């Protein structure tokens, strides 16, 4: 009996040591994979930033949104801005518009106002003040901006008893770029059979890349979209590389060595067409936030990454791509 117990104890110790060793090996292998993934992303970014478009003139259009006691959504040329104000808290935020302006000429900003959550109508104390600013050059100080337009809620908004109100700002823009053909030649998504199924499948594909920590594949999916924003907000390659040294978002969103990492499922969404049905977006029903969302715990609290993802289908293609 003693002999049997001894054998069992030795076997158990051997098994535990073996498991511990395997765990250490797994951690080492995971670390090597993480390091390799980060190196691949950094190398790809270096080449990707060589494609940044450069311009002699760098005008900038900025929408300053100040709101209280209401919820607000903003779109420019019928393209939803990635920053939303669909919660009950107050906000004072500048929205950069350049990458929503496809070419020089007439533009239109639409501001949708809703009551606070839990209220039927927009309240008397609801406050919305919006100014459209223009800078001749992106590096001009805020105090030199030209005010192109100013709109706000009517003073009698409470007595109007409305569950929704809309403000519009038409304006003329002059920009050194033109990517209008991309949108004009995109397909009308409302005419694509089973479009919601295809849209959800694409979002799930992108989500799985984050779940698996496949940062390089995810970066390739969003490359064109990122280059548009980087180019038309006039960032340089050096600025992007310096920014990535401080915090590399393309790495941050796929790191798996963080505590309680969670990539939210694609559910409880609403699907919205925009830009004459050339674009489509899935957003969370409750707060209209981006559906591709992940978070994790840090010593400072909850951190994470939200990636605004709008889809389109180029002419002659049957595949949805990130706009």
Using one digit for the tens of pLDDT, what is the confidence trace for 79-94? Answer: 999 999 999 999 999 9
Report pLDDT digits (tens) over 49-74: 999 999 999 999 999 999 999 999 99
**Rounded Cα gap, residues 318 and 156, in angstroms:** 49
pLDDT band, very low/low/confident/very high, at 27 (cuts 50, 70, 90): low
Roughly what angle, to the nearest 10 degrees, separates helices 195-211 and 215-232?
A: 110
pLDDT at 17: 59
pLDDT at 5 over 60: no
The sign of the dihedral angle between the CA atoms of 117, 295, 80, 248 is positive
Torsion, Cα of 292, 198, 285, 291 (10° steps): 0
> pLDDT at position 306, please?
83
Length of the chain: 323
State how far the alpha carbon of 213 is from the alpha carbons of 37, 52, 138, in Å: 9, 26, 35
Token representation of residue 306: 């939200």
The shares of helix, strand and coil residues in the chain, as percent rounded to the nearest 5, are 35, 30, 35
185/272 Cα distance (integer angstroms): 19
Show the beta-strand stretches assigned E in 69-145: 71-76, 79-80, 91-96, 105-114, 127-135
Token readout for 56 is 């002699």
Query: Each residue of 177-232: pLDDT tens digit?
Result: 999 999 999 999 999 999 999 999 999 999 999 999 999 999 999 999 999 999 99
pTM metric for this prediction: 0.89
CA-based nearest residue to 293, from 312, 281, 280, 309: 309
**Using an 8 Å Cβ cutoff, are 206 and 266 in contact?**
no
- Relative to beta strand 127-135, strand 146-152 is antiparallel
Q: Which tokens belong to 318? A: 């049957």
Q: What is the residue-wise DSSP string for 168-199?
A: EEEEEE--S---HHHHHTS--GGGSTTHHHHH
Asked if pLDDT for residue 33 goes beyond 60, the answer is yes
Pairwise CA distance, residues 226 & 244, whole Å: 14
């Amino acid at each position: 009996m003693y002999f049997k117990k001894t054998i069992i104890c030795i076997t158990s110790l051997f098994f535990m040591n073996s498991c511990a060793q395997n765990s250490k090996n797994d951690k080492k292998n995971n670390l090597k994979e993480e390091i390799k993934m980060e190196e691949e992303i950094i190398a790809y970014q270096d080449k990707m930033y060589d494609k940044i478009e450069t311009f002699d003139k760098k005008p900038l259009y900025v929408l300053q949104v100040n709101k209280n006691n209401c919820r607000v959504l903003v779109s420019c040329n019928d393209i939803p801005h990635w920053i939303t104000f669909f919660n009950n808290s107050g906000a004072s935020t500048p929205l950069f518009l350049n990458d929503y302006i496809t070419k020089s000429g007439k533009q239109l900003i639409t501001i949708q106002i809703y009551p606070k959550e839990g209220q039927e109508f927009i309240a008397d104390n609801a406050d919305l003040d919006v100014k459209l600013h223009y800078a001749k050059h992106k590096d001009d100080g805020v105090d030199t901006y030209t005010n192109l337009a100013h709109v706000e809620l009517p003073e009698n908004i409470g007595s109007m008893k409305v569950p929704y109100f809309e403000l519009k700002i038409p304006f003329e823009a002059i920009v050194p770029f033109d990517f209008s053909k991309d949108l004009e030649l995109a397909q009308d998504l409302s005419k694509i059979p089973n479009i919601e199924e295809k849209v959800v499948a694409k979002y799930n594909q992108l989500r799985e890349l984050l779940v698996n920590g496949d940062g390089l594949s995810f970066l390739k999916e969003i490359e064109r979209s990122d280059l548009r924003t980087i180019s038309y907000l006039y960032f340089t390659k050096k600025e992007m590389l310096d920014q990535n040294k401080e915090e590399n978002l393309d790495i941050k969103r796929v790191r798996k060595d963080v505590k309680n990492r969670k990539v939210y499922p694609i559910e409880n969404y609403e699907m919205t067409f925009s830009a004459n049905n050339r674009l489509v977006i899935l957003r969370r029903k409750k707060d209209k936030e981006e559906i591709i969302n992940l978070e994790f715990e840090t010593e400072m609290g909850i951190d994470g990454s939200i990636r605004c993802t709008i889809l389109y289908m180029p002419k002659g293609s049957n595949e949805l791509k990130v706009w």
